[in-house]
Amino acid sequence: MSQRLHLVFGGELVDPQKTEFRDTSQIHVVGIFPNYEQAYNAWKAEAHRTVDSAQTRYFIAHLHRLRDEETPVSPTEELGS
């Protein structure tokens, strides 16, 4: 069984309706997690911690899909679209 690594990261966005970061040097990397459940829990904790900042948003990146180019992704999973 292959690992399904997930990266949780976030920061302040230029516009909360888009995914462009205001300052990429300030992106907060929460960590890499061995499964979606742990990544989701970390994402949720950071989202709750920054709930008062409308410009701040966190994401879960499916790193395992970067290693397997045959796995299709939905348009909502493509950052920057």
For 54-78, how does the pLDDT look when each residue is reduced to its tens digit (9 = 90+)?
999 999 999 877 765 665 665 545 5
Residue ranges per domain, the chain?
Answer: 6-77
Identify the bridge partners of residue 60 per DSSP, sorted by sequence position: 8
DSSP state, residue 36: H
Query: What does CATH list as the number for 6-77?
Result: 3.30.70.2400
**Which pLDDT belongs to residue 73?**
60
Read off φ and ψ for residue 20, nearest 5 degrees: -90, 125
**Which pLDDT belongs to residue 78?**
52
Three-state SS at 7: strand
Read off φ and ψ for residue 64, nearest 5 degrees: -65, -25
For 5-53, how does the pLDDT look when each residue is reduced to its tens digit (9 = 90+)?
999 999 999 998 999 999 999 999 999 999 999 999 999 999 999 999 9
In this structure, what token pair is assigned to residue 53? 């900042």
**Which pLDDT belongs to residue 13?**
96
